[in-house]
Chain A
Amino acid sequence: MNNIEKQKIEEFVCDAPNNQVASESFVSNLKYLFVGIVFGIVFIKAEIVSWFRIQEMFRLQSFHMYGVIGTAVVVGMISVQIIKRFKIKTISGESVVIPKKPFNKGQIYGGLIFGLGWAITGACPGPLFAQIGYGFLVVGVTFLSAIAGTWVYGALQSKLPH
């Protein structure tokens, strides 16, 4: 596979790419560790990692999760618009790059499959890490199984409808 092809596939599937041109050292990467720590604390303190909260959401019995996701989307949207409008640069002086997400049918099939799993486990991938850290060690099994699911997708990708 040549590089251009490879890049295409990566753009196609990687939802959280690193678009920084300059490479980063271990110490530089600690920034993301710190942001992750704060994120993990918010996840637990706002009970987003709670199986009960997910049940409330899918039973339409509480506004909590809708409030969290809705507020996050509005704040994210305004921030992205501000960054684009004022062409705000990154701290290392690069232009901010946000790749477009091309449509494929995987978003429908995969989305439905993930939704089924979300309601069973009470966790999307982020909360899995927070739950394990908070002491629900049994979620380690869920995590390993999620890795297995990721791997099986990688093995079957070319055979699945997209």
Chain B
Amino acid sequence: MIEFIKQPWHWSIAGIMIGLTVPILLLIGNKTFGISSSLRHICAACFPANLSYFNYNWRKEIWNLFFVFGVLLGGIITNQFLSNPNDIIINENTIRDLKALGVTDFSNLMPSDIFSVDNIFTLKGLIFFVIGGFLVGFGTRYAGGCTSGHSIMGLSNLQLPSLIATICFMVGGFAMTNLILPYIFKLF
């Protein structure tokens, strides 16, 4: 059984479980699914700086922080007990394309060429961690939600604004991957 769980899970299993998060959160506490709000609550709790955007009762939304702390614990538990012993299997064409860009490590979930502590104070670190993270935080707040709040919760509730947001997420991602990333990789 445990060996079975350790294998990478099929997309349909993950899709069903993620989809079920929507009714589960609604029914156990009238909570609307969304994760990027947690970043806002952290700002509101730690450094509100008298900004009206962070001046609200974040304690009422504390469930969201419990939830994301759970996601972090889920990562730790998987690493300790359920980790896949084999290399990740990704599409050959993706490997070929990324090799051409200079990625050499294809063993784990993230390439160590980029996501290693040694890169923190390098140009790579600046782009992939600092700028990338900033765009994620700024963009999700500006859009009023992320993949969970808009693409899953919003689309589940048939919200047109969420469809527009989701299309824009995808357009941004396609543009970065296919148009901008090749130039970024030339910098290293």
Contacts and interface: CB of A to CB of B under 8 A. Distances in A.
Interface of A: 1, 6, 9-10, 12-21, 23-24, 28-59, 61-65, 67-77, 79-80, 82-83, 88, 90-92, 94, 96-104, 106-126, 128-139, 141-155, 157, 160
Contact of B82 (A6, A36, A45, A114): A45
Contact of B173 (A13, A49, A58, A149): A58
Interface residues on B, range: 35 or more
13 contacts: A16-B31, A16-B145, A17-B31, A19-B31, A21-B30, A36-B67, A112-B175, A116-B139, A117-B134, A119-B176, A124-B147, A126-B146, A146-B136
A144 to B, nearest CB: 7
B117 A36 contact: no
A114 B148 contact: no
Given A68-B18, A98-B157, A63 B11 contact: yes
B123 interface: no
B158 interface: yes
Most-contacted residue by chain B among A36, A53, A79 (CB, 10 A) = A36
A101 B155 CA distance: 10
A12 B56 CA distance: 13
Contacts of B60: 18, 23
B67 A73 contact: no
Contacts, number: 571
A145 B140 CA distance: 13
B111 interface: yes
B182 to A, nearest CB: 12
B119 to A, nearest CB: 7
Contacts of A36: 66-74
Contacts of A128: 133, 136
B73 A40 contact: yes
A23 B57 CA distance: 12
B156 to A, nearest CB: 3
Contact of B74 (A1, A37, A79, A99): A37
Most-contacted residue by chain B among A90, A148, A150 (CB, 10 A) = A150
Contact of B151 (A69, A137, A138, A160): A69
Nearest to B170: A115
A138 B178 CA distance: 25
Given A13-B144, A121-B136, A129 B72 contact: yes
Given A71-B16, A110-B140, 4 more contacts: A56-B90, A103-B160, A106-B143, A145-B133
